[in-house]
Each structure stands twice: as structure tokens, then as C-alpha cells.
Amino acid sequence: MKFIILPTILTSAMSLLVLAEEPIRVGIIGLDTSHVVAFTKTMNDPKAKGHVPGAKVIAAYKGGSPDIKSSISRVDGYTKTLQEDYAVEIYDSIEELCQNVDAVMLESVDGRPHLAQARPVIAAKKPLYIDKPMAATLADVLEIFRLAKEADVPIFSSSSLRYAKSTQAVRAGSIGKVTHAIASSPAKTEEHHPDLYWYGVHGCEALFTVMGTGCESVIRRQTEDGLIEVEGTWAGGRTGIFREGKGYSGLAKGDKGEAQIGNFDGYEPLVAEIIEFFQTKRAPIPAKETIELFAFMEAADESKRQGGKPVRLTDVIKKRK
């Protein structure tokens, strides 16, 4: 018996294979941070060190905040790089961008416009990754998650510090249940954001990666060197400390030993997580954990205003709602 493979069937099968291998078309909102070039290179350039396949940045919306010099002064330069080096199409509106992509990375360095910029993405039903800080207020963080849940749109936000190899190993149980942890990072502030939102979020993200949810209260202090130190008390008497420092480091202690945490292993691990998120449409971090992280940082400012008194996270969340 002879089997005949019809050309049309073969052609259709090959077409389906090609479609299956097509990278996810990614749009970027906000061209005012070095992340846009780093992430685009990692996704788009097969020759780049740490190249992560599966997605390609094809479109962008400039954004930029005129009252933050480190934002507005970078927009034109990063726009030029994306256009000339990666042939990225620049759109005049977020709505138009969303019509031409499969997923979106919100990269605006200023957290204040994030809620407004996220609205049209959520309305367009596009999976959305939001770079740090997720917003400039806890109230906006809560609203973004509410809108996304209401529209059944997958979103997540994270610093790259979450995905350092050592930090992830501890989260996965390498030293058992973590009972105490300290994470350090630079904590440069910006006047329009709570103190830790702008840069301290990196160390706080590493801290929450290993501690998880369950933080009940926060006390903010100042070290002898005049640096920020924030201690959180978790359910069951567990403690976690963010300490301002010059670099990225930390130590976690568990019931099976201790391990270093808080390193910066580059952007590639985060980019890989973003691409998998776009592919699966499943957020890798529970909304509850991210909300608690931002409540921790906002409670730290409230503790400072109250002269170092303990502040409960539930009170801060309730007030911001």
C-alpha cells in the first residue's frame, strides 16, 4: 500500500510549525531606564551573552517624566538605540502599541504614571510585566491588581534581585524554613516616592523572596552611619531586616542552616521569567506577596514619621484601600 502526502497537508503542517516557533511580540512602555536596552538586547540579539529566546521587542512608547531629570534626560538616547540597533517601532500612544503586540513590559522608571499606563494595557487584555517600582503609592499598587483581577489579565512585578540563584535556592527550601534574614542594597531616594520604593526595593525584594508573606509589623531605624534600617516581624516570631548598603548582599538563617542571599546575578534570570510568564500567562509571584512587599516599604516611612514606632501592615493596607 502506498501513502500519498498531499502537498496542501504538508504545507499546512509546516505553516503550523513556523507559527509555533514565532517569538512573542513584546511592546515596551517608558524608554527612560537602562533596563529597556538591557532587556531588548537579551531578547532580540541571539549573539548576546545570556540571550533568552522566545520573545522579541518590536514596539515601544517613549513616556518620560519631565520633573525627574534621570528620566527625561534618557528618553531620546534610549529611543535612538532601540530604533537603530533593534528596529523597534515607536508608537504615539499606548493604545496603538497594544494593537501591535502580544505582551507588554511597563518600564517607566517613575512609578507615578504606572497606574495610568497600565489601564490601557489591561483593557487590551495583554499580559503585563511591571518593572520596579510597581507604582509610587501602595494605593496605586492595590488598584493595578484590582483592575487586572477584574479583567482577568495576568500581571506581575519584580526586581531582578528576586531571581539571583542563591536567593531562589533559599526560597526553594535549601536551608529549611527561614527564621531570620538580612538583605542589603543601595537605597537612593527620590522625592516623589516613598524612601524605599526608588532603589531600596531591590533589597526588600530579596528579603521577601526568602521570607515570604506573613509580615505583621515594621520598625524603621537609622544606623550609626545614618543609613536606613527596617526590621519586620513575621508571624511566628520570624524576623527580616532590610539594611541600606553600598552593594547587594544578605544572609538567611533557617532551621537547616544558613546561606548567602541578595546577590545581583544580572538581568537574564528575570528576562527568562518574564518570557515564561508571557508564554504561560501565569504570574510567578502571588499578588499578595507583592502587595505585602510594598506595604512593608510604605510602613517603613510611616514608622519614620512616628519616630520609630512599630507600624502594622494591615493598618497601612486598610488605610490605602
For residues 75, 77, 83 and 86, what is the CA-based torsion angle, rounded to 10 degrees? -110
Separation of alpha carbons 266 and 48, rounded Å: 13
Q: For residue range 222-233, what is the model confidence (pLDDT) as tens digits?
A: 999 999 999 999
Separation of alpha carbons 195 and 228, rounded Å: 9
Burial 221-235, CB ≥16 within 10 A → b, else e: eeeeeeebbbbbbbe
CA 228 to chain CA mean position, Å: 22
Residue 7 neighbours by CB distance under 10 Å: 8
Q: Which residue is associated with the grid cell 548582599?
A: 249
C-alpha cell at 296: 512593608
Paired strand residues for 41: none
Q: Reply yes or no on whether the pLDDT at 16 is more than 80.
A: no
pLDDT reported for residue 4: 45
Distance linking the first and last C-alpha atoms of the chain: 72
Q: For residue range 202-248, what is the model confidence (pLDDT) as tens digits?
A: 999 999 999 999 999 999 999 999 999 999 999 999 999 999 999 99
* Integer-rounded Cα radius of gyration of the chain: 21
Q: What is the pTM (predicted TM-score) of this model?
A: 0.92
Separation of alpha carbons 243 and 228, rounded Å: 6
- In the chain, beta strands by DSSP E: 24-29, 55-61, 89-91, 103-106, 128-130, 155-157, 178-185, 215-222, 228-234, 239-244, 249-254, 257-260, 311-312
pLDDT reported for residue 225: 92
Task: Let me know if 9 is exposed, middle or buried by CB neighbors in 10 A (0-12, 13-18, 19+).
Answer: exposed
Q: For the chain, what's the residue count?
A: 321
pLDDT category at 17 given cuts 50, 70, 90 is very low
Separation of alpha carbons 181 and 287, rounded Å: 22
Domain 7-159 bears CATH identifier 3.40.50.10210 = no
pLDDT category at 1 given cuts 50, 70, 90 is very low
Of 3-12, 183-192, 204-213, minimum mean pLDDT range: 3-12
Domain ranges of the chain: 7-159, 161-320
Three-state SS for 231? strand
Separation of alpha carbons 314 and 295, rounded Å: 8
Separation of alpha carbons 273 and 265, rounded Å: 14
Q: Kindly report the CA angle at 5 between 4 and 7, in degrees rounded to 5?
A: 130
DSSP-derived secondary structure letter, 312: E
Element (H, E) at 123: helix 114-123
pLDDT category at 300 given cuts 50, 70, 90 is very high
161-320: what fold?
Answer: Dihydrodipicolinate Reductase; domain 2 (3.30.360)
The two domains 7-159 and 161-320 share their CATH topology (first three levels equal): no
pLDDT reported for residue 8: 45
Q: For residue range 25-73, what is the model confidence (pLDDT) as tens digits?
A: 999 999 999 999 999 999 999 999 999 999 999 999 999 999 999 999 9
Average pLDDT on 71-98 reads 98
